[in-house]
Structure 1
Amino acid sequence: MASALVTGASRGIGRAVAQALAKRGDRVAVHYGAAAGAAEQTLRTLQGPGHIIVGGDLSDPAIADTIVRTADAELGGVDILINNAAVAPAESIRHGVAETSYPDWLTAWRTIVDVDLLGAAHMTYLVARRLIERAAPGFIVNIGSRGAFRGEPDFPAYGAAKAGLHAFGQSMAVALAPHRIVVTSIAPGFVSSERQIDKLAGIEGADLRAQSPFGRVVTPEEVADAVLFLSSPAATWASGAVLDFNGASYLRP
């Protein structure tokens, strides 16, 4: 039985990943940033015993350290880290160059990068160091985005942070391989998470589904199935890979 820490597991992809890991038999630390009630709901859906909740803002390095220390102590060591927590594109932080004031531009970049890139980097460091101290193998999976490749003109900080996360994962794959720690990333396209229900049901829905030749968008559960593979010994030789998971909606050259 392995122990996993899933950041941003209150809902959406994070919840689906936590559920899939628990179903596999792993013990899971369900992390949340602010939505404690939703995290409790995630916890109640997990199969098996020994799961816990850990909360805190990953943009604060000291809090990130406390989160890892708590999960490590209560689970008897974290073997798997899923870097899923992110500040996702939303109207409140839209920052297209032509429409955004410089103060709002700075705020958007700081808000997104501090969680999506630096938060994941700090969590990776903290978990990896404990794995190295235990001389234990492990798996780190970064939840990136298709937006890192195709561009995010209305949310450039998000696209840049996810591109940075992919590159960071590749650097860590090389650095941590001698310690038997596998690092991969997955880059989903548009996901039918809870926060996207209204958008999919509205006038944008048809266009979003038409982006893929399959005529639909990916579900959180499908992303979770891919994460199950990437966090398993079978994925060892995929270390350093960035898995496109967008239903052929964007093909990299």
Structure 2
Amino acid sequence: MKNLFSFNFFHRANLLPDYSFLGTDIHSHILPGIDDGAQTLTESFQLLNGLSELGFERFYATPHVIADRYPNTPETIQSALKKITDVISNRGDTFHVEAAAEYLIDESFEHLLDGKGIMTLPGKRVLIEMPFVAPSPNMEEYIFKLQVNGLHPVMAHPERYNYWQNETEEWKRVVKLGCELQVNLLSLFGYYGKGARNRAFDLINKGWVSFLATDIHNVQQLSVLKAGLKDRSVAKLLSEHEFFNNRL
């Protein structure tokens, strides 16, 4: 798929000028103190200000929902979001922050499948992830049940699941089931290793990736995203494909 923004985004020097061609970051851990992302309001705004300088204008905070580690609920998420939006209102910042969540697909996810209490991205999209040690055994069933309830699953960072590192057919099946894929920008720049970078390139080249996102957790990752703007191979890759962040 050709990138609609390639005429001004693919710079004459074959570099990314910024991330304004995406504009919207659909996966981030910027809410203070409720998961392994920003721990304080100060850190939240370090991330928001840094990403804004890199071209992002709209943010969806997606804190982890993991029953035995980060048992977040709509109430805890909205409470943390309000701390940010209150400051934005007082300061008059131009960027916009909303909240959804990133749900681990495990046995504890079952009680959420009726759609009640699920925090969604626009279009009733639900950001989901699998464990990093092994695939979720009932993942296809969960995808189907989400759809039955009028929700649309988006799989977070498929390139990072090493157990499917050579399983192209697995991701092809997931896409055919109606699950959109979201690749991390950090993966494209080698932050999670060469394997994740190669898989990210492959999934994008196959046309299976609907969204790019930062999945940002800490200030150190801002420097990786900034340095990545000089990666010519990534610039070329992204100029040749279309992503739907700004359509949300």
TM range (shorter): 0.3 to 0.5
TM-score, scaled to structure 1: 0.36
**Normalised by the size of structure 2, how large is the TM-score?**
0.36
More helix by percentage: 1
